[in-house]
Amino acid sequence: MSAIASAVRRFFLHIYKTLLNRLRPESRGPEPIVRLVLIQPCRHSLLGLLRHILINMTFILIWITTFKNAWRIDSSIRPEIHVNDLEEADHTIFDMDFTGIVIQCTISVLGYSWMYALTRRSKLSILAAAPPFALNILHAATHTLCGPLDVFAWLSYGVIHFISPFLAAFWLWLFAPPGVVSIFAWSFGIQNCLGIITHLSMPTAAPWYGDQYGYPLPPGNYSMPGSAAGLVRVDAVLGTHIYANAFKASPLVFGAFPSLHGAFSCCCFLFIARYSRRGAYLLGFYVLWQWFSTMYLRHHWRIDLLGGLVYSAAVFSIFYRSLQRVDKAYTTGVSGGNGWQRLFYGTWLQFWFDRQPETGYESVRLDDHGDGEFVRMSVDRAVREHREDDLESAWVHDMGGTWKTREPKDSS
């Protein structure tokens, strides 16, 4: 029994030291498993780790605090509620008439140009041109209501939506280069802050407003309660009033544009798709699922979802150069190992995903040799090439700590 307790203690101590970056893959050879629990030079103290997390969550905390206290703003100083604008704009952009088709094609060209400017990858850029047409297809599938579709939409809108940022952050910590999770947190928080600022400065009505109050739409006022819309059918299936009561007491009723449900999923997709091809497929499905769910449950217009995508893509573009820098620091061995490598430091699993990139994250494009052709480099190849000729990358002053390049394992 004492042996089991000792093993459990060593396991949790190992997790603790992994989180503090005390275990870094820089060994000259295979290390015995007992070395996992020895005290080694560390980059963070526990207090430093908590401070680091708090700093990265600054904008997330600002967004949550603002949302929860939006009802405290005096309605006399709040702007007029736009109850008709979104519906009119939605039909103008997405109706299949001449004007709508021209606008959709223009948006597609802009999406293609944005993605190509970032990645220089034409196939990926074609996907960035698809959202306007994908939204129309998904919208056409929302007109038939049934119990299974209610549950299907609820799982995305009411369940996965709330845990998806945590799952994405954990995956990025585990498999992406060190520092990516911090960039993800800043990007996620800033996009949500921009969204809440838009909600407060330009309040707009969701599709359920017309369903509940009828046409012509009556003027909106800030005393009106929120509505669960299609989620009341989920309450009926579950035999509860959870969503009806929650949305009725919402602190921000008129915040349809942009859709932060859509922005959540797009932000997760943009980051994970950069490091995993399989993750791109999975998160791509999640984005489409979320788009369908928000329209099916009558919580957002198509233009709201397009707006959420634009907000997410704009903030991602701002931090794209930072992603490139942390990627290069990782491939040259400057920033140490990712969470997986530290978690399994000294074991045969440490570089498992480096040996089999198709089952883990995807190598990133780094170097441009002047002819416009980007070269994809694996982690191991980058380390070998830069160890001898890039002495500057061996030492980097980072928050008072020094990182060393990883020594390759002795194959003999």
Q: What is the pLDDT of residues 142-183, one digit of tens each?
A: 998 988 999 999 999 999 999 999 999 999 988 888 889 999
Helix (H, G, I), strand (E, B) or coil at 347: coil
Position 411 in a domain: no
Q: Say if residue 153 is in the same domain as residue 300.
A: yes
Q: Say if residue 225 is in the same domain as residue 287.
A: yes
Instruction: State the pLDDT at residue 23.
Output: 46
Report how far residue 330's alpha carbon sits from residue 308's, in angstroms, rounded to the nearest whole number: 31
In total, the chain counts a number of residues equal to 412
Task: Give the total number of structural domains in the chain.
Answer: 2
Residue 232 pLDDT exceeds 60: yes
Contacts 24+ apart (CB under 8 A), 145-150: 145/230, 145/233, 147/233, 147/237, 149/296, 150/230, 150/233, 150/234, 150/237
Report how far residue 142's alpha carbon sits from residue 147's, in angstroms, rounded to the nearest whole number: 13
Q: Say if residue 14 is in the same domain as residue 34.
A: yes
Report how far residue 227's alpha carbon sits from residue 75's, in angstroms, rounded to the nearest whole number: 19
Position 408 in a domain: no
Beta strand 365-368 with 396-398: parallel, antiparallel or unpaired?
A: unpaired
Domain ranges, residue 82: 51-319
Position 378 in a domain: yes
Q: Say if residue 375 is in the same domain as residue 396.
A: yes
Which domain-ending residue is among 319, 334, 364? 319
Q: Say if residue 261 is in the same domain as residue 328.
A: no
Which domain-ending residue is among 266, 295, 319? 319
Residue 34 pLDDT exceeds 60: no
Report how far residue 153's alpha carbon sits from residue 288's, in angstroms, rounded to the nearest whole number: 11
> Counting beta carbons within 10 angstroms of the beta carbon of residue 304, is it exposed (0 to 12), middle (13 to 18) or buried (19 or more)?
buried
Instruction: State the pLDDT at residue 75.
Output: 87
Give the pTM: 0.77
State the distance between the two ends of the chain, measured CA to CA, in whole angstroms.
39
Stretch 293-303: mean pLDDT: 96
Q: Say if residue 24 is in the same domain as residue 55.
A: no
- pLDDT band, residue 91 (cuts 50/70/90): very high
Nearest by Cα to 257 from 210, 212, 310: 310
Position 410 in a domain: no
Position 412 in a domain: no
Position 287 in a domain: yes
Nearest by Cα to 299 from 86, 71, 93, 104: 86
Stretch among 132-146, 202-216, 390-404 having the lowest mean pLDDT: 390-404
Nearest by Cα to 118 from 107, 127, 130: 127
Q: Say if residue 156 is in the same domain as residue 299.
A: yes
Strand runs (DSSP E) across 198-339, as ranges? Answer: none
Q: Say if residue 44 is in the same domain as residue 56.
A: no
Q: What is the pLDDT of residues 8-27, one digit of tens each?
A: 565 555 555 555 554 444 43
Position 148 in a domain: yes
Q: Say if residue 228 is in the same domain as residue 246.
A: yes
Q: Say if residue 158 is in the same domain as residue 98.
A: yes
- pLDDT band, residue 361 (cuts 50/70/90): very low
Position 341 in a domain: yes
Instruction: State the pLDDT at residue 277.
Output: 87
H helices present in 160-206, as ranges = 161-175, 180-201
Residue appearing with tokens 């919580």: 299
Which domain-ending residue is among 272, 294, 319? 319
Instruction: State the pLDDT at residue 343.
Output: 78
